[in-house]
Amino acid sequence: MANTTSAKKMVRKIERRTAVNKSRRSRVRTFLRRVEEAITSGDKSAAEAAFKSAQPELHRAVTKGVYHKKTVSRKLSRLSSRIKSLAA
């Protein structure tokens, strides 16, 4: 357990930061799940709409430090190719 005042303060800061990052990660996962559901249903227009709304959320997560830039790039690339392969 933390002994010094500064260590106790860091514990409080880390808890707050963890809560914020957890909510951001959860929000991103929700957007990704919507895209996944649209893809599995086979509805290309719904998948494209969900993908369009998910893109800024994923990029925002990168700027906030929740995800790495290349991780998000890879996820978007794979989702995009899956949407393109859907029958129109």
Structural domain count of the chain: 1
Determine the Cα angle at 40 with ends 25 and 32, to 5°: 10
pLDDT in tens, 23-54: 999 999 999 999 999 999 999 999 999 999 99
Range(s) of the domain holding residue 78: 5-84
User: What is the overall mean pLDDT for the chain?
Assistant: 94
Confidence of residue 88 (pLDDT cuts 50, 70, 90): low
The sign of the dihedral angle between the CA atoms of 74, 77, 82, 83 is positive
Q: How many CB atoms neighbour CB 39 within 10 A?
A: 19
CATH of the domain at 42: 1.20.58.110
27 or 1: which leads in pLDDT: 27
Contact 55, 76 (CB under 8 A): yes
pLDDT of residue 3: 87
